A = this chain, B = another copy of it.
Amino acid sequence: MDQRVSLVTLGVGDLGRSRRFYEGLGWKRGNRDEGVVFFQIPGGVLALWGRHELAAETGLRDGGGFGGIALAYNARSRQEVDAVIAEAERAGARILRHPAETVWGGYSGYFSDPDGHPWEVAHNPAWLFDTQGGVVLPALS
């Protein structure tokens, strides 16, 4: 199994509402299928699909709420963290934590999308970006 994740699927309660939320952040949908929304991201795809369908497909029982997975968006500066958190709030996100300095020497805040999926928005001065905006871990010395 190669070291990669092709797709992250967020289960949603209302596909139109969730699509509009991400489009409100400036994202462009990459498919025209009914019932599922794909966004091309560097290295893979972020998908929106019905949470009930996703639970049924995996065979897992869905107790609702948080499931121990968070997404993160790395910004190139602290100012960009503040700007993205403000943009998400304008698009209807709930702010879970306002940006602040972190114990690991960076700066981050959290919002949640219309289904409660958490996104960290972070500036980590030790991490690099590739030309497509993907993050690159520093080499192990």
Contact = CB atoms under 8 A, between A and B. Distances in A.
A54 interface: yes
B132 A69 contact: no
A18 B12 CA distance: 27
Contacts of A3: 26-28, 39-41
A99 interface: no
Interface in A1-53: 1-12, 25-28, 30-32, 38-46, 51
Contact of A69 (B2, B32, B67): B67
A129 B19 CA distance: 25
Given A26-B1, A41-B3, A66-B55, A60 B118 contact: yes
Contact of A68 (B10, B39, B96, B136): B10
A38 B124 CA distance: 14
Contacts of A120: 7, 9, 57-58
B137 A30 contact: yes
In order of increasing CB-CB distance, the 10 nearest A-B pairs are A67-B67, A43-B43, A11-B68, A42-B43, A43-B134, A7-B72, A6-B74, A60-B66, A30-B137, A1-B25
12 contacts: A3-B28, A3-B39, A6-B72, A6-B73, A6-B135, A10-B69, A43-B130, A59-B96, A60-B118, A63-B64, A63-B66, A65-B67
